[in-house]
Structure 1
Amino acid sequence: MNRRALIAALAATPLAAPALAHSPKTDTGRLIEWEAVASSHVGPRNVTVWLPPDYDQGSRHPVLYMHDGQNLFDPARANFGEWGVDEHLVRLIANGQVRSPIVVGIWNTSLRLREYVPADLIASLPAEIGETLTTLYGGQPLSDGYLRFIVEELKPQVDATFATLTGRDDTMISGSSMGGLISLYAMMKHPQVFGAAACLSTHWPLRLERLDEAALAQWRETVVQTWSRVIAAGLPDPATHRLYFDRGDETLDQFYAFFQSRIDQTVRAEGWGPDRFRSLVFPGAQHNEASWNQRLDVPLTFLLSPQT
C-alpha cells in the first residue's frame, strides 16, 4: 500500500461539522480523520473519509458508507488486515469501471455486535431463540440507534462538508460479516436513504453450543423461516434498489450456505431479478479481510457501475 498523508480534522459532532483540512493530492486520494464523532443515539466513534483523486475537479460524488472503518484503508490501523478500498477504487475509476465515490468508513466500537445485529430480526424470533442470540451478541440490539446515527447525524454532516450527491440513488452502504447483516438492515429500515447495499460474507446466526443433529436442524429452520419472512416484508422496491450478497466456502463462511441460499430464494421470490440482485460464491475464500480485499472489485463495480 502506498504511503499517503493522513489529515487530522477537528473532533466532529452532529451539531457542528469539523473543519476540512486539505492535504496534497496523492495518487490514492486523500484520507480525512474525524475523531470521536459524537451522537445522540450511540457512543462516539472515529470516522475516516476517503476523497478520490479527482475530488477537486468540481464534480459532486456518490457516497459509499462502510462499516468497520479502521480496516478499510490503512494496514497500520486495521485489526486483522485491510481491504485496500482506496487502491481498488483508484484503479477502477481510472479504467472507467466505476463512478468516482466518496467513501465514509465508520469505525466499530466495543459494542460492534450489538450495533450490527438487526433489532427487528431478533425481536421476530421465539423468545428462547431470541434470548440465546441476545446473550451471544452481548445484550439487546443497538442497531436502530446506530442506523439513526448514520442517517440523521453522520450523513447530514458528510453532505454539509463534502461535494456529495445526496439522493438515494447516489448513497450506498456495505460491510462484511456482521457488517453485511447491518448493511441489509440499513436498506430495509431506511430505503429512502440507501439505494444499494453490498453484504460480504454475511454472518447469519450460528448455534455454537453442542446440539444433537435433529435439534440443530430445527433451530436453524426456525431462524431461517422467521428471518425470511421479516426480510421479505422489509425489502424495498427492486425497481429502485439493488442488493449484493457473497460468501466464500472456507473457515466461517462454509457455515453460511444453508442460510444464504434460503435468503436468496426469499429475495428472488420478491421480484428481484439478476439486474437488481446478485449472490455469489467464491470457492476457496475465507472469512477475513484478505479474502474481502481479493474480491472487492466485484461488489464495488456492482454498487458503483456507471450504467446504474
Structure 2
Amino acid sequence: MRWLAVLLAVFLAGCVTSQGTKADMGRFVELEQVAAAGLPDQRLSIWLPPGYDSGTRRYPVLYMHDGHNLFDPAKSNFNKVWAADRAMLAAMASGKVQPHIIVGIWAPGADRYRQYLPQSIYDAAEGTPRAAMEAMTGGPVMSRAYLDWLAGPLKQRIDRDYRTQPGRESTTIMGSSMGGLMSCYAFLERPEVYGRAGCVSSHWPAADPRAVGEANPELIALWDGWFAARLGKPDGRRLWMDHGTATLDQYYAPYQQAIDARFAAQGWAEGKDYRSEVYEGAEHEENAWAQRLPEIFGWLLSER
C-alpha cells in the first residue's frame, strides 16, 4: 500500500501547486556568506510555510543539507531538486504533519565531502576504509566543526530570528548520500538537540565504493560499533533510513542490513522508532529522493 500513499501525497502537492496562490506556497529567505567558525562561509535557503507572516504560531524546524538542491532547479547542481517545499505542503495537506520551517544549508562546493564525513568514523577508520577516505578528503575533515555550528550558532540564530518550537522533539535533521551520513552523525552525537533524523541513501561506503570494495567487513564492523556506542534507547526519538538498488545505492544493502540489526539489538522498534526502506530500481539522485520525500515526511514528521 506504500505506493498508494506516495501517489496520494504527490497528487495533493499538485493540487496545491495548481490551485494555490503565491502566498499559499510559503516564502523563501536567502542568506549568503554566513560565517561559521572553522568552516567556509555557509549559505542558507529558508522556507517559511504558508501563514507564517500573518500569524503568531510557532513552528517545528527541519534542517536539510545540500540546500541548493532542495527547492529551485536553477540553483541546483543537476537541474533537479527534492521539491522539499512541495513535499511539505503535501504532508501538511494530509493533516498528519504540522507546518515546518525548512532550513536548507548549501554544501560548500569542493569542501562538501570534508564537511559531511563524520569525524568520529574518520578517526576510527583503519586499513582500506581509511585509505579510501584519505584519497578523497583533500584537507582536514570539518564535520565536527560543522556539527558544532549546526547545533549551536545556527540553531540559536534560527530560534532567535524565527518563531520556532526549539525543543528536540520539534527539531529534525535530514540529508542524502554524504548528507545522510552527516544527519546520522548529528542524531547520534547531539541527541539533546535532534529528536528526529532522515538519513536518505546514506553513503555507507564513505568513499569511492570501488576503492573500499563491496561489503567491506572492516567498514561494516566500524559502522556497527559506531552505532552501538552512540545509539542508546529511543527515548522518544525517531529515525528514517532508506536506499535504492541502482547506481551508487546498489552498494548500500550489506551496510544497511548490519545497521538495521544493530537498531533491533538496541531495542528500537521498526515502524515505531525507526524505519529502513528499500526502493527497488531507485537511483542515487534528486528525482528519486523527491519521489519518496512525501512518504518520508508523512512518517518522520507526523505527530504520534
**TM category, shorter:** 0.7 to 0.9
Provide the rounded CA distance (Å) in 1 between the counterparts of 2:222 and 2:24.
Answer: 47
Question: Is the 1:29–1:50 contact (alpha carbons within 8 Å) kept by the matching residues of 2?
Answer: yes
Provide the rounded CA distance (Å) in 1 between the counterparts of 2:231 and 2:129.
Answer: 23
Residue type of the alignment partner of 2:86 = E
Matched, 1:239 2:235: yes
Number of residue pairs matched by the alignment: 282
SS in 1 for 2:226: helix
Provide the rounded CA distance (Å) in 2 between the counterparts of 1:30 and 1:192.
Answer: 29
SS in 1 for 2:139: coil
Structure with the bigger RCO (C-alpha within 8 Å, sep 6+) is 2
Alignment match, 1:6 = none
Provide the rounded CA distance (Å) in 2 between the counterparts of 1:140 and 1:224.
Answer: 24
1:236 Cα offset (Å): 4.0
Alignment match, 1:9 = none
Alignment match, 1:62 = 60
Q: How does 1:41-80 map to 2 (within 5 A)?
A: 41-55=38-52, 56-80=54-78
**Identity score, percent:** 39
Alignment match, 1:200 = 200
Alignment match, 1:166 = 166
Provide the rounded CA distance (Å) in 1 between the counterparts of 2:296 and 2:183.
Answer: 13
Provide the rounded CA distance (Å) in 2 between the counterparts of 1:207 and 1:90.
Answer: 36
Provide the rounded CA distance (Å) in 2 between the counterparts of 1:208 and 1:174.
Answer: 22
Question: Is the 1:66–1:173 contact (alpha carbons within 8 Å) kept by the matching residues of 2?
Answer: yes
Residue type of the alignment partner of 2:75 = R
Provide the rounded CA distance (Å) in 2 between the counterparts of 1:167 and 1:92.
Answer: 21
1:136 Cα offset (Å): 2.3
Q: Superposition RMSD on alpha carbons, in Å?
A: 2.0
Alignment match, 1:35 = 32
Question: Is the 1:41–1:148 contact (alpha carbons within 8 Å) kept by the matching residues of 2?
Answer: no
The C-alpha deviation readout for 1:34-72, integer Å capped at 9, x for no partner, is: 111111131112101100002132210000000000111
Alignment match, 1:256 = 252
1:25 Cα offset (Å): 5.9
Residue type of the alignment partner of 1:125 = A
Residue type of the alignment partner of 2:56 = G
| Residue of 264, 268, 290 corresponding to 1:268 | 264
Q: How does 1:215-230 map to 2 (within 5 A)?
A: 216=213, 220-230=216-226
| Residue of 277, 280, 283 corresponding to 1:280 | 277
Q: How does 1:149-160 map to 2 (within 5 A)?
A: 149-160=149-160
The C-alpha deviation readout for 1:156-182, integer Å capped at 9, x for no partner, is: 000000000001110000000000000
1:210 and 1:241, CA in 2 relative to 1: closer, same or farther beyond 3 A?
A: closer
The runs of 4+ residues in structure 1 deviating greater than 3 Å are: 206-211
Question: TM-score, normalised on structure 1?
Answer: 0.86
Higher mean alpha-carbon deviation, 198-207 vs 95-104, is at 198-207
1:82 and 1:129, CA in 2 relative to 1: closer, same or farther beyond 3 A?
A: closer
1:237 Cα offset (Å): 2.8
Provide the rounded CA distance (Å) in 2 between the counterparts of 1:250 and 1:25.
Answer: 37
1:207 Cα offset (Å): 5.0
More helix by share: 2
1:227 Cα offset (Å): 1.9
Alignment match, 2:97 = 98
Residue type of the alignment partner of 1:75 = P
Question: Is the 2:201–2:241 contact (alpha carbons within 8 Å) kept by the matching residues of 1?
Answer: yes
Question: TM-score, normalised on structure 2?
Answer: 0.88
Gaps of 5+ in 2: 1-13
SS in 2 for 1:76: helix
Gaps of 5+ in 1: 4-23
1:209 and 1:199, CA in 2 relative to 1: closer, same or farther beyond 3 A?
A: closer
1:90 Cα offset (Å): 1.2
Residue type of the alignment partner of 2:289 = W
SS in 1 for 2:74: coil
Question: Is the 1:25–1:53 contact (alpha carbons within 8 Å) kept by the matching residues of 2?
Answer: no
Provide the rounded CA distance (Å) in 2 between the counterparts of 1:236 and 1:134.
Answer: 30
SS in 2 for 1:58: coil
Residue type of the alignment partner of 1:101 = H
Question: Is the 1:41–1:149 contact (alpha carbons within 8 Å) kept by the matching residues of 2?
Answer: no
